[in-house]
Structure 1
Amino acid sequence: MAKQSGIIPLQGTIGNITFYKTKSGHLAREKTSMNANRIATDPAFVRTRENGAEFGRAGKASKVLRTAFRAMLLNIGDSYMASRLTREMVKVIQADATNARGLRNVIDGEAELLKGFEFNNNSRLTGALYAPFTTAIDRAAGTLKVDIPPFVPVNMVAAPMGATHFKVQAAGAEIDFEAETFVNGNTASPELPIDATPTAVMALTVNVTANSTKPLFLALGVEFYQQVNGTMYGLKNGTYNALALVDISGM
């Protein structure tokens, strides 16, 4: 794969070279003699078919997880987040030690490998919120919780220029990857000023189904605002907002 250069980017096919546009710019690649039928039937491509099946499964699982956290992801600005999550979901599937290649899945894999995943590479939770916190998932009670002791925002929040306030929020999801369904919930602190006044204790709790046998995911995030004449405005389409998976309980 080559990157096009020049003042007139090309699209289409010239000879055996195909020119096309992506988010990474205008690219070019050589045409191949491969076709879908050969890949689907030729024994030489059995590994390709196995990888394709698992990648497709990872893509579906990634979409379900993103949909479960959609309310919070609407305020996150990272156009590559979906592809990054799918890549990590492939690792979860590859950790399945029960099924044969091509049949491995998220349920029998290691969902805990997603812990620490940052939904926004432009503003990571680890670089936005320095206040210590603890997490707890009570599967029997169906509760997912984040506890944050009091902290001084001006010292513990890395706010972008122009931000006057922030909000800490948590979201939890119980996900059935096979049925592609979920139960979710979220909660948040009020908008707090970024100043030297210590915050109150934050106990953010989300409820899902008690005694669930499905994987449980807990996310923590920070959103930034600018107050103008008493009204809160979000900053730059979510570019500076952070959200990460901070705890996971697999099957």
Structure 2
Amino acid sequence: MPQQKGIIKLKGTMGGITFYKTADGYLAREKGGIEKSRMESDPAFQRTRENGFEFGRAGKGSKLLRMALRTLMRDAKDRRVTSRLLKILVSIVKTDTTNARGQRTVQDGELALLKGFDFNIKGKLNTTLFVPYSTNIDRAAGSMQVQLPALTPSIGIEAPEGTTHFKLIIGLTELDFENETFIFDGNETGILPWNAEEIPATDLSASVTANSTLPLFQVMGISFYQEVNGQMYPLKNGAFNALNVIGIDTP
């Protein structure tokens, strides 16, 4: 893809060339494509239409999950999280064996493929937290529990340079992909010192709808802080904070 050079950066279309900005910088491409009316009716593009429908459902599913976890993602995400999440959801749609091609959905696919997804590629949970933890979902009660043993932060948590404190967070969300609605609940520890003093076992819980018939997603993360003159500041604006899908429960 051609890149724009020079001091002046262009956006828009001029002379059949479209100029636009991406995470990789300012790019340019030749304007083209097939007329919309032909794309919508020509039998030759039946597969293209089917792929488009399914891509659209994956896009809506990605947006719904990001909306549900917005309060947690605000401090733990990277600039490519949207495209990375969408790629997985497209693959999930393709695993749907219930519906015909073009009608496959996120909710009927293998949602377990999302387990282990890191919202911040620079802050992966499995290279940050080095203590065993257990999780449990009680669908009848609509509750989730995450239990961590007593730990020494400087040994059990790999923190970026400059860290003085940290916080553990969890979230539970119930997603209705068909109606594009969600319920979310979260919990967190206080801000704890990152040092060589052991902290007691931690038990965090969150709740959604009891006896839900919708998929439930569990996430856990770590946020890092630096204390300066008695004030806590997010370390490097959360650049290394972790948030990970640790569990998925389907009805």
Query: Does the pair score TM above 0.5?
Result: yes
What is the alpha-carbon distance in structure 2 between the residues aligned to residue 185 and residue 21 of structure 1? 36
Question: Which residue of 1 is the match for residue 244 of structure 2?
Answer: 244
Q: Which amino acid aligns with 2:249?
A: S
- Compared with structure 1, are the counterparts of its residues 98 and 78 closer, same or farther at alpha carbon in structure 2 (3 Å cutoff)? same
List gaps (5 residues or longer) in structure 1: none
Q: What SS does the aligned partner of 2:225 have?
A: strand
Preserved CA contact (<8 Å) 1:118 1:124: yes
Preserved CA contact (<8 Å) 2:174 2:184: yes
Q: What SS does the aligned partner of 2:32 have?
A: coil
What is the alpha-carbon distance in structure 1 between the residues aligned to residue 152 and residue 20 of structure 2? 50
Identity across matched positions, percent: 50
What is the alpha-carbon distance in structure 2 between the residues aligned to residue 38 and residue 156 of structure 1? 59
What's the CA shift for 1:7? 5.5
What is the alpha-carbon distance in structure 1 between the residues aligned to residue 140 and residue 58 of structure 2? 28
76-85 or 163-172: bigger deviation:
76-85
Question: Which residue of 2 is the match for residue 117 of structure 1?
Answer: 117
What is the alpha-carbon distance in structure 2 between the residues aligned to residue 227 and residue 139 of structure 1? 40
Q: What SS does the aligned partner of 2:88 have?
A: helix
Q: What SS does the aligned partner of 1:59 have?
A: helix
**Superposed CA offset, 1:82-131 (max 9, x none):** 22111111111111100011100112111111100111112111222122
Within 5 Å, which residues of 2 pair with 1:132-151?
132-151=132-151
- Compared with structure 1, are the counterparts of its residues 45 and 169 closer, same or farther at alpha carbon in structure 2 (3 Å cutoff)? same
Preserved CA contact (<8 Å) 1:77 1:237: no
List gaps (5 residues or longer) in structure 2: none
Q: What SS does the aligned partner of 1:147 have?
A: strand
What is the alpha-carbon distance in structure 2 between the residues aligned to residue 12 and residue 117 of structure 1? 35
Preserved CA contact (<8 Å) 2:164 2:225: yes
What's the CA shift for 1:68? 1.1
Question: Which residue of 1 is the match for residue 53 of structure 2?
Answer: 53
**Superposed CA offset, 1:134-181 (max 9, x none):** 111111121112111111110121111211000111100111111111
Q: Which amino acid aligns with 1:99?
A: N
What's the CA shift for 1:207? 1.0
Q: What SS does the aligned partner of 1:236 have?
A: helix
What's the CA shift for 1:3? 3.1
Question: Which residue of 1 is the match for residue 29 of structure 2?
Answer: 29
Normalising by structure 2, report the TM-score.
0.93
Preserved CA contact (<8 Å) 1:61 1:177: yes
Q: What SS does the aligned partner of 2:18 have?
A: strand
Q: What SS does the aligned partner of 1:240 have?
A: coil
What's the CA shift for 1:10? 4.8
- Work out the number of aligned pairs and report it: 251
What's the CA shift for 1:69? 1.1
Question: Which residue of 1 is the match for residue 44 of structure 2?
Answer: 44
Question: Which residue of 2 is the match for residue 234 of structure 1?
Answer: 234
